[in-house]
Amino acid sequence: METKELAQAFNDQTEAVANLLSKYELSETERIETARHLERLRADLSRTQDRLSGSATALDTAVSSLPAQIEVRLKHRFEGRTRIFGAVFLAAMIVMALTTGAWIAARSENAQLRESDLKYRYHRLTDPDATIRSDTVYTRDPDGFHRMVVQMEAQNRALEAAERNARQKEKEAYKAREKLESLKRKTP
């Protein structure tokens, strides 16, 4: 509702009150007092109306002077405690990442050690003399034991390669003999 409508509504109500009061038997002084009171209310209302209309025009002027879009520049700053908390958070994340990496590496290494332990226990149960001999040799000279194992593995690989070559040569020789036999049968 606008101020003019409010003023009109108030005037209508004061006239309605005056009509109601005229129906009652009031003394002359009471009627005069009521009329003065109504006049004071009308005067207060007109002053309020003037103030409201002045405020409304000032508000309309202020709103119309505002731009349609306001540019907002958001700047992120890390100052004081925020900088400290950020540094602590970053350090905690780095420590957590390193700890997780170490845990994963240790976990896989522990799995390999468990597998080796199981194999060693199996050999100890199936051939205890060989296990005791290997423990004795390793205890006396761990570096020499390592060299000996590497040398034995190299010999085994060489033997396997030689056996593969021999088998292949035997197959080739067998095929050559068969071919020779078939050629002998074909010649008259």
Q: For the segment 96-106, what is each residue's pLDDT rounded down to a tens digit?
A: 999 999 999 99
Please give the Cα distance from 99 to 122 (Å, whole number).
34
Listed by start position, the domains of the chain span: 3-63, 98-140, 142-188
Read off the pLDDT band of 75 (50, 70, 90): confident
Distance CA 156, CA 25 (A): 135
Give the mean pLDDT of 123-143.
84
Q: What percent of the chain has pLDDT over 70?
A: 87
Scored b (16 or more CB within 10 A) or e, 15-50 reads: eeeeeeeeeeeeeeeeeeeeeeeeeeeeeebeeeee
Check whether 9 has a pLDDT greater than 80: no
When comparing pLDDT for 14 and 148, which is higher?
148
**135 and 121 in contact (C-beta within 8 Å)?**
no
Letter string b/e over residues 113-143, b meaning 16 or more CB atoms within 10 A of that residue's CB: eeeeeeeeeeeeeeeeeebeebeeeeeeeee
Please state the separation of Cα 131 from the chain's center in Å: 53
Distance CA 188, CA 186 (A): 6
> With contact defined as beta carbons under 8 Å apart, do 50 and 81 qualify?
no
Which tokens hold the place of 43?
A: 């005067």
